[in-house]
Amino acid sequence: MSKDHHHHDEPVDWREHGVKVIPGNSLDPNTAQTPGMNRAAAINHARAGAEKIWAGTVVIHPNAKTGAHHHGDLESIIYVVKGKARMRWGEKLEYVAEAGPGDFIFVPPYVPHQEINASEDEPLECVLVRSGQEPVVVNLDIEPVEKPEGILWKDPIHR
């Protein structure tokens, strides 16, 4: 059995390399942005030493729609904290679903999508988690479709 990977058999400094709490008022807005929204990083490599995951907040302005975009090969999870989210996705953004506080939204890799704040007077506040560190935001030139196909935002388990 080989020795652990730490240098000179010194014990791990768990104070320095252990659990980290990132206060909500110290998030870093210096991250990839999309028109109509503000992202702020909480957990990333620079701030927390994370290797495989990224987390932060996103606030979408009242009545705002993001530009169509995707996030490359990253998986994204959006947790709605406050407000009403409308998601459009597809080659022509022809599919639509809505989510509210407490709901989770999963966006698979390469899916063209658009986040919309369905409220005209309340900001949409979400927590965003991604499967990687690269701030991949590929903005797409897609003309939003007028009458998207409606999809009820419920999976078979919660029907």
Q: Can you list the domains of the chain with their CATH numbers? A: 26-154 (2.60.120.10)
Query: Which strands make up the sheet holding 138-139, listed edge to edge?
Result: 138-139, 69-70, 113-117, 85-89, 95-99, 149-150
CB burial of residue 48 (10 Å; 0-12, 13-18, 19+): middle
Q: What is the pLDDT of residues 102-158, one digit of tens each?
A: 999 999 999 999 888 899 889 999 999 999 987 678 888 887 653 344 443 333 333
63 token code pair? 């009545």
Could you tell me the pTM of the whole model?
A: 0.73
d(CA 149, CA 156): 19
Q: What is the pLDDT of residues 41-52, one digit of tens each?
A: 888 888 888 889
Local structure of 73: helix, strand or coil: coil
- Locate 94 and state its tokens: 């022809």
Mean predicted confidence (pLDDT) in 73-99: 93
Phi, psi for residue 86 in degrees, rounded to 5 = -120, 125
User: Judging by beta carbons within 10 Å of its beta carbon (0-12, 13-18, 19+), is residue 71 exposed, middle or buried?
Assistant: buried
